[in-house]
Structure formats: structure tokens, C-alpha cells
A and B are shown apart, each in its own frame.
Chain A
Amino acid sequence: MRRKASLILLALAVFFTALSPLLRWYAFPRLAKIPANQYQDMVLEAKNATLLDYGTMQAKTVPKVTIVQTLKGDVDAAKKIDKTAGRDVVVWDGLSYVQGPDGKMVSSIPERYIFDAHTQDPVHATGEMVDGDPVKRDGIEFKWPFLTQKRDYEYFDAQTRTTNPIHYKGTENFRGVKVYYFEQTIPWTKVPFPKTMPVKGITPESVAKTGTTRWYTTVRKFWVEPVTGAPVYGEELHKEELRGGTLLGDRAKVTAFAGDVKMREDYIKHTVALVKSNRTLVLLMVSYLPWGFLTLGLLLLALSLYLEARSRRPGDPAPTEVQEPEPVTA
């Protein structure tokens, strides 16, 4: 009986011990992914910002500019690209809608971001764009990969349509969550006018005819929870200028927007709570379960060996063997 029990325990010990690395290094990279149907919104605010009044072409200080950012996964598009790319893909349709203090639209920039659901590596397919312009991302955007490392990443900037390094600057604690702080500076760069302008009748083409150009610089800051790769907080020191051309009269440049853009407080709380919950799920697969299974496997192995040893103790009656009678010689 002990013999049988020790064999069952041995099978279970091997089962749980083998499950530990299989779960961490085989199952986790295949199971952990961004859902294709994800939908999320985010509100950011720039208080006491500078905003251009397109009626008077004068920059003025306004109490608040609000940016509403929505990301919506297009499942049908993801399925189509899955087949050609041969991997799990997420297609995010995004909209950055900027609203002035009077509630009127300042700018509205759509984009389509296609990436690998597991690694967040960009995937290139028809439809990848920013504000209608085809783009080719060579880095991440919005989210870092699962198990983010303490290193620089390539990050896509939608305004300049370029990919540049975003630097790891250190580990911090943000509202009880361990986070990696990343920072990227985009120097003054000439960028296209948004396709949707705040004043009716003004189009990017009509502005281009005046010779006026749009320039932009930003310092982008992200505090990223490393297990999930999700930013729990973000800030941008964002500046835009119009330069040259007849639109500005005798002025060389005018500020179109300047402000310190920060996540709204209720969205920070919501994001921190969401990331904490998702972090537990990821840790379950990369840490809690693998270590738990390994410990359980070793305990079961020890128990199995103990039972086996007891079954072989010399004090115990030896199992009786049926002996065949020896032939008797006459």
C-alpha cells in the first residue's frame, strides 16, 4: 500500500515540478497578451495653458485645455492581419481630441496603431496611420511590454511621425506601486498641420499657401508599472508654435499651444487600481504559481521518498515470496 502511495506521490511531484518552468517560460509568453477588443479612454488636462486664438491670431492664457484620448481595438481588422502576419495582432484605433476652455474643438487627430499582442512590437500593415498619413512605427506607443526592463525603449511620436529613444531614468514609487520612470525629449521639429483645424474654412492646404509652418517640442514623461508594462501616470511639457508666413503678419512666430499636460486625478486613481489588479494576474503566472508548484513538487517528492523508505525498513515484515519447491534428487 505504501509502495503504491509513494509512486502516486512521485508522479504528482514530477507533474508539479515540470509545470513550474512550463508555466513560466512556455505558457506565459503565449497566454499573456493585450485583448484585441480593448477599449479605454483617458482624460488629460493642461491648466493655465497658452492657446492660440485663431480669430485674432493672438496667443492667450486659458484656465484649462483638455485632451480626451480614446483607444479602441478593432477585432475584425486584427483577425485579418493575424492571418497574413501569422501572429496575434492588436489593432488600436485612437483619437486624441483636444478641447479648449469654451468646450470647442482645438484639434482632433485619429491614428491606427498595429502591434503584436504579446510583445508590443509594431506590426506593419495597410491602414497604419496618423491623421490619415501612412506611417511606419519602429517602436512602442502608449504601452510598454509585459515585464518591462530597466533600459531605453524606442517610442513613436505621433506629431513628428518618428520613432526615438525614450530613456529609463530610474525606479520610483508612485502611490504604492513600484514604477520605472521614462523620459523622452523631442526637440523643436517642423510638423504637419492637423487635417481637422479649429476654424471652419481653414485647411492645412490653405495655411500652407501662406508659408506659415507648425513647429513642436515636447518632454514626455511616463511612470510605468514594470510587471504589466502599463503606464500608471504620464505628463507632457508640450509646446507648439506657428512660424513665418503671411498668416502671422510681421511676427516671426506665435505660440499655438504651451502647457504642462497631466492625467486627471480620477483617471490616475482608476488607472492605479486597474494596474494593481492586472499586476496580480501577471505575477500569478510568472511568480506565484511557478514557485508554488516547484515547492509543492519538492514536498511531494520528499514525502514519496519517505514512504518508500518506510516501506523498505528492516523492522517491517518482508513481503512473502512464493518459492517454488526445489527438485529433489533421488
Chain B
Amino acid sequence: MSLLEIKDLTIRFGGLAAVSDFECAFAGGELMGLIGPNGAGKTTVFNMVSGFYKPSAGSIVFDGKNTAGLKPHQVTALGIARTFQNIRLWKEMTVLDNIRVAQYYRLGYGVADCFRRSRRYMEREAQIEHTSREILEALDLARSADELPTNLPYGLQRRVEIARALSLRPKLLLLDEPAAGLNSADVEGLISLIRWVHEEYKLTIWMIEHQMKVVMSLCQWIKVIDFGRIIAEGTPDQIQSNPEVIKAYLGDENI
């Protein structure tokens, strides 16, 4: 059984079909890329997979379950985590608290436990703090645990966002333009981070990226969309020489 199976995925905003007949299948363990010119509908696909938009047609089956009608937090609890194109950390909470709150779906205690400081509450909170620190340690962020995200450099904020997504213990990690706004040194760090995360956590990673260096050095398989339709797919080498892709990015020279 495949991890994620997307069939005939379509969404219309009014009369505009932002994405139409998108198809995709993950067996599990891949590192896939999704590229396309601006406005092609890449983030819209992610928004549908993470439950944020309701597709107009088509189905998304994750781990054997149809995600139609689920709220985003329920989809996340199934095992899909994501990061955002523009960093969306909770800016007035420490890095550690950012990770702690993301454990919400497996808190394991209720509001009454919280008032009573019951044994279950104490055990779970200790566990949550432990796993949160562990993930920060693993991503080399332990020193920033008590800092506010706004006080961190942009590259580290990206890292924290990836740490927060990883702390959800996802089976599928969606990265929406992880390299956006990073300088070239940070990009090198990001590439090795993603590669390390992929191997260490045995994750399936699906990323949207504009920087070809990142996509070409990481992704095993790439899908290209333009105007909401898949126009090409293949290995990085095939994509680089695909005339359709070149046309979509650079325009048609015969105009």
C-alpha cells in the first residue's frame, strides 16, 4: 500500500481552476520535488494535502485513509507535517514552547488534568519537554531553546520551523520553499540538513523549491506543474532537458 495517493485532484476558486487533475503517488521513503513557475499552483496542492483547502474534486488517500472532510489538525495527527513559504513560527513564544505546543495532538491529558496537576499531566509534560529538547538537540538548536524566534537569524528560524514540523513525528514532511530567503551558505546547510533528516528519520519528504541547486541535488523524482496541470515529471536530469519545462520557465522562443 502506498503512503500517499492523490487522484484527479482539482480545486476551483470561482471560475479559475487553480489545480486540475493533479496526480501523485508515494510508496514511502522518497524525496520528491514539486516545481513550477510562480502561480502554478504548487502551494495550493500542499494546502489541499494538509487539509487547509477542500478540493473541488478528486481524492487524497494518506496511509489508507481518505483525508476528505478532515480538519487540518486531524490531517496533521495522521502524520503529515509541513512548513510554510514565509516562516510561521509563534513569534512571542520561546523556541522550546514552539515545539511543546506542536505536541498538542498527543498531549494525552485534558483540561481537568491541567488544573489538578494530576500524575498523568506531570508525566506527559515531562515527556513532552524531554522529546522537545531531544529534537532541538538533534537539529543543533539546543542553545536557542529559550530564545524568542524573532531574535534568531533567518536561517535558524527556518531550522526551528523544520524542527517543529519534525517534532510532530510525521510520516510525510511537506517543505514549502525551504530555501526561500536564505543566503548561499545557509542553502548549503539546508541541503545537508534535509538530506540528514531524510536518512535519520526515514521520512518521506515532498518539497516545493525554486532554487534549482536545492532541487537538483536532493530530489530523486520531480514533478513540474504549470497553470495547475502536470506538464512533466522525471529524474532531475530528465527535467533539466525537458523542452516543456524550459518552455514553461523561459517562454516560447517562437512567439
Q: Do A and B bind each other?
A: no
Chain B interface (Cβ < 8 Å from any Cβ of A): none
